[in-house]
């Protein structure tokens, strides 16, 4: 959900994608908070690899047909339970992966089946702040309250 799903073709047939800077910063903040950040996508794209590299995301899985299997593998390798995981999707190919996590999220313009399967639907559209919206929610839940008796903030 790092792009709006549009494909832009250049003069020489190259495919271009647009990434939102604030979405990327949200993922960096998650990573810096010690959370595992991963990209799982059906497509194969050098642009996605480049964006992940720019953001310091090591877990990049492209050309994935079985997204649920990829998510389950990620959880196992990082010793996480489904309840500790979030997946953001927009189309029917994401339904099995959404069912494999504790926080299934649909972006605002997701197909109806995905919105119904989600616990949370973003207000923002993909590629226009949806990922940052989810990152902010996760970070808010991950941080102890300001009045934590341990004095940790």
Domain residue limits, the chain: 8-142
Encode pLDDT of 35-82 as tens digits: 999 999 999 989 899 999 999 999 999 999 999 999 999 999 999 999
> Which region, left, alpha or beta, applies to residue 79 given φ > 0 means left and ψ of -120 to 50 means alpha?
left
Evaluate whether 22 touches 126 at the Cβ level (below 8 Å): no
pLDDT, tens digit, 9 for 90 and up, residues 9-39: 888 878 777 889 999 999 999 999 999 999 9
Q: How much is the pTM?
A: 0.88
Fold designation for 8-142: Rossmann fold (3.40.50)
């Amino acid at each position: 959900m790092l792009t709006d799903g549009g494909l832009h073709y250049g003069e020489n047939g190259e495919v271009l994608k647009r990434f939102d800077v604030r979405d990327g910063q949200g993922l960096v903040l998650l990573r810096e908070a010690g959370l595992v950040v991963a990209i799982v996508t059906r497509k194969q794209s050098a642009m996605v690899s480049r964006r992940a590299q720019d953001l310091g995301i090591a877990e990049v899985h492209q050309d994935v047909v079985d997204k649920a299997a990829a998510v389950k593998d990620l959880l196992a390798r990082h010793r996480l339970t489904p309840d500790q995981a979030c997946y953001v999707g927009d189309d029917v190919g994401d339904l099995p992966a959404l069912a494999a996590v504790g926080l299934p999220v649909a972006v605002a313009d997701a197909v109806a089946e995905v919105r119904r399967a989600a616990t949370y639907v973003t207000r923002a559209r993909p590629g226009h702040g949806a990922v940052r919206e989810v990152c902010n929610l996760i970070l808010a839940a991950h941080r102890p309250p300001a009045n934590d008796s341990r004095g940790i903030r």
